[in-house]
Each structure stands twice: as structure tokens, then as C-alpha cells.
Amino acid sequence: MRRRVLLLAVTVVACGVVLGFAFSGSPTTIADGVRIDGTDVGGLRVSAARSLLEHRAAALANKPVVFAVGARHFRIRPVELGVQSDWAAAVDSAQRQGSGFAPIRGFRRIGVDVFGADVTPSTSVLTGALQYELGRIASAVNRPPTDASLALKGARVVVVPAKIGVTLDRAAASTLIVHELAALDRSPEPVPLPVRTTQPHVRLATLQSVRRQVSTALSAPVRLDVGKTRFVLTPAKLAPLLQLPAGGRASLQIGGPAADRWLQQLGATVDKPPRDAAFAVDGSSVRIVPDRPGVSIDAVGAARAVLAAALKRRPTFRVAQLPVQTVAAGLTTAKARTMGVTGLVSTYTTDYGGVPNRIHNVQLVARLVNDKLIAPGAEFSFNKTTGERSAAKGFLVAPVIVNGELTTGLGGGVCQVSTTVFNAAFEAGVKITARTNHALYISHYPLGRDATVDYPDVDLRFVNDTGHWMLLRTFVGASSLTVSLYGTPTGRKVVSTTTPLVAHGKIKVKKTIDRSLKPGEVIVDDPGEPVLTTSVTRDVYTKSGKLLYHDVWDSYYRASPELERVGPKPKKTPSASSATQPPG
């Protein structure tokens, strides 16, 4: 029995060895049933298999593969992205399928032949070119989701359906594109690229209630009440004011540019600006003119009220009470009463004249400083109050001193006002922090108490040190200007002295030949001035007699030449001795 079993085993092994040898085939050929990238290379030698694969790949390198996203098609050739497969490595891997010694190789090849073996080659690609192509496709197909919305055509509501957002799945698309371009077995149909979808926030079902609201809002006029004033808003006028759902918002509103313009127009009709409290002066007395609060439409509240009324179905309920809000005055009566502007502190008057342009400038700048309120402890600046003197503000060209010479310039005459303001502050006994005399002496100004200004460098400044507010008020007459400072009278005493005007040196003469004059004739256009100096001293005493300020202002006025026009020199007459004698 044991011999039979042993004999059977030996027989089976022998048959297996014979069978293994029978199917072992040549080790130089690839086993049957082996495929590389879908191409059957079984039974081929290594060189033949590699040549076959390389030739097939070369034939497809310039043939495009069509990729699709919806109805959009994109044609890409392998050569454009530098797609290449490593066929040598793939063939080496294929040769190892069903390898080994003859009997073992035979059994392995039987398995490969029955079940098959697929080898996928490794593939390389130009990364930059691939990313560029992905970006081109994405820019063409990517779209954000679009919410469902409503639109108005006249008084008719039109529904705009929602749209699903689409985004190219770049990672998955990258893998798919490289795989399809490297494949030797292509499908004739376009290859769908993977995308991600994004659902919209607002769908059509969400807007059905809003659609009904719009229909109700435009079904009849809306009456608007503002106090005792009434307006009627017809459906045709209401329609542009409705802001339909958009941008993820699913509610109906009154808003948008058209509504903003309508609310502005409504405000122009209804709004009343506030009026500040004011100080009315009469000589040395002051009284307060009460403020008047303003009224302004509450734009946000008005929009809500109009919409609420428009959504009512019964006509008797379609009435909007538009809310208004009180606008407080900048200077209230209560504030004015605490400022201490109760009486006259000082006043000063100067006379003026000149060409019409100069008179215009004097009156203009007087208006700019008029009603200036100066807080306790604050410094008044003439230049900051008036700003730059420009043609845009209305200043004209008039006589002005520039670099020590009388000429013409924009704003000539401004110093008439600055000089008058200086003297009002001088007489008020307040602290004067900046004052500059003119370059040339001007006789119609108070001696040594003129004050020039030149924006922005040369300024007139003084400090309100009275402890209460001060009001600067100007009074412009036909030929005189008065500046008064009102506040709480301090009882200060101002004592001043002025030294006589002292001349220094001789007047230089500047002659100009005028051929329209007779020889030797002289006309003096300007007598000129020598250098002139004077000094003003001001002592300010408190009500109790204590010295508060001791100020000295020295004024130096440049010389100006005497301007003469002279006739030409007489022509010389030849003498008798120098006359030519006739020939003898």
C-alpha cells in the first residue's frame, strides 16, 4: 500500500515537472497574458515590446484628447504638457511577470496566461504647463452660485432662477488629464473633468412670499404723512424704491440708489436746518437771540414706515407716518447764556478809502472776521480766521506793500482790518502775542499802532485772557470801519504813550528822464520818506489797580526815495570860434 502511494506521488511530481517545462517558454520573451497600459505584449521580446510601445506613444503625441465640462470642450495634446511614459521600466516590469527557473516559470506563466497581468507605466509631465492648462480651464468653467432673485419690469415681478456654482476640482482633474494623455488606448468620446458644485443660498421657493409682498406693495398708492404735510406715492414711483432680494438676502426692503435719491429729495422738502443762538448788539448792550432746533427726516425709519404701509392690503391702512428727528443747534440758547457775552469790552474805528478794489477787499475781510467767537484762554489768529487771500474767495488786486515798495497785489487793503482789530485788542487790555508794523509809514493809520499781515507768515494774534467768551463784531460804513469786542467787561485800565515820529538820514532821490517834459523841467511824483521810527508803550491795569501788562512796540519804517521825472538835457549850440571858415 505504501509503495503504491509513493509511486503515485512520484508520478504526479514527474508530470508536474514535465508540465512546467512544457509551458516555461523562453526567458527572453514576455509571458503570454501580460499587458502594458492596455497593450498586449505577451510573447514579445523585450526590445520588440519597447519598440511597439514607443511607436504607439509617438503616434499619439500630437493627437489631442478632448476634455469636457458640461458643454465646454478643451483639446489638449500630450506634447503640449510634455507627457512621457517610462516604457523601458514598464517592459522590465512586464518581463518579470512569470519569471524564474524553467518548471517554476512554466507554472507562473500558466497563471499569467489564465488570469492576465497589467503593468501601468510611470508617467512624467511638465508641472508648469499642466498648472497653466488647469488655470485656463478653471477660468472658463468656474462660476459662483447665483441666488434666485426677483426683478421688476414696470409693476410686474419677474423671477430669475437660481444657478448652481461650479468649480473645477484641480487635483482630481490633474491626475485624470495626465492619465488620459499618457494612455495608448483612447476613447473617441470627450473625457468629463471632475468638478465640485456649490448650492445657492436662496432658492426660488424662498422668494415666493417676497413675490407676493411685491405684488401687494405695488397694488395701490401709499399716503405719506409728515406732520401736517401729506404726499402720495404711486405704484410707479414706489417700484424703483423697492430693493429686491439679492446677495444672499431674502427679504424685501426700501433701499438702493433710487431710494437714497428719493429720501434726499424728501428731506429737501421737509427738513428745516437748525438756527444757532446769536448775539444782537446795540451800542454797548448785548442780548441773546434764541436758537431754533431743526427738523430732519429719519431716513431709516422713513424707509421702514413706507414699506410697512405698502404691505397693507386695505387702502385705509396704506398710510405711512414718516418719523422726523430734532436737530439741535450748534450753539444753543442755554450755552449762549453761560458764555458771558454781556457787554462791550472795547471798540475802535479807523477811516478808509482808496480805489474801489481796495474798498471791496476791506469790506470782504471785515465780513470774514465778523461774529468770530473767541473761547476763554484761546488765541485769536487773523490769518487762521480769514484764510488765504485768493481770487477764488473774491479778493481783488489793489495797492499793497511788497518788499518795502508800494505796488499792486491780490488782497490790498486787508491791513486796514488787521490794524483796526489790533487797536480794539489794544484798548481791551488783552495779551497781544503777535504784531508787525508795515514796511513803509502810512499816515492814515494810528502812529505806531498799525498792524500788517501776510498769509501765512506775518500774523496778528492775541489771547482772550478775560475768563469769558469774547465776540468780535465788525461794522463797515461807507468810509469807516469799526471793530468791537464784546464779552464780560473787565474794568481794566489801559494807559498808552507814543513817542514822536523821528526821521533818520536824508531822502534819496530817484530820477527818471521823461522826454515829454521840457529840458530842465522837474516833476516830483512822490516826495519820499526818510527812515522813520516811533515807539508805543501800553500799561494795562486790573480793576484793583495792579499792573497786568507792560508792553513796548518799536516800529521801524523803511525809507522810500523821492521819485522825480526830469526833462532831457538841452542840446549844445556850436560856438562862433569853432565855426568852419570859408576858403579864401
The DSSP line for 287-356 is EEEPPB-EEEE-HHHHHHHHHHHHT-SSGGG-EEE--EEEE--SS-HHHHHTS---EEEEEEEEE---SH
Whether residue 148 has pLDDT greater than 50: yes
Q: What is the pLDDT of residues 199-218, one digit of tens each?
A: 988 877 778 888 889 889 99
**pLDDT at position 227, please?**
83
Q: Is residue 361 predicted with pLDDT exceeding 80? A: yes
For the chain, the first-to-last Cα distance in angstroms comes to 193
Cell representation of residue 334 = 442755554
Closest CA to 438 of 526, 563, 553, 551: 553
Lowest mean pLDDT across 119-128, 181-190, 239-248 = 239-248
Classify strands 34-36 and 39-40 as parallel, antiparallel or unpaired. Answer: antiparallel
| pLDDT at site 430 | 99
| Sheet strands (E) in 464-546 | 470-476, 480-487, 493-498, 502-504, 509-513, 522-526, 531-541
pTM (2 d.p.): 0.63
Write the class of the CATH domain 208-335: alpha beta
Q: Rounded CA gap, 71 and 68, in Å?
A: 7
The C-alpha atoms of residue 423 and residue 484 are separated, in whole angstroms, by 10
Q: Binning pLDDT at 50, 70 and 90, where does residue 223 land?
A: very high
DSSP 447: T
Tell me: the pLDDT tens digits for 149-200?
788 887 778 888 888 999 999 999 999 999 999 888 888 899 999 999 999 8
Instruction: Please identify which residue in the block is written with the cell numbers 468638478.
Output: 195
Q: For the chain, what percentages of helix, strand and coil (3-state, to nearest 5) are there? A: 30, 30, 35
Rounded Cα distance between 38 and 101, Å, is 28
CA distance linking residue 377 with residue 467, whole number of Å: 7
Q: What are the domain boundaries of the chain?
A: 2-141, 149-178+189-205, 208-335, 339-566
**574 vs 210: CA distance, rounded Å:** 116
pLDDT score at 476: 96
Which amino acid, 574? P
361 phi and psi angles, rounded to 5 deg: -65, -40
* pLDDT recorded at residue 402: 77
Contact between 389 and 411 (Cβ < 8 Å): yes
Return the SS3 of 236. helix
DSSP for residue 219 = S
Mean pLDDT across the chain: 88
For 431, the grid coordinates are 495779551
- Region 43-47 average pLDDT: 80
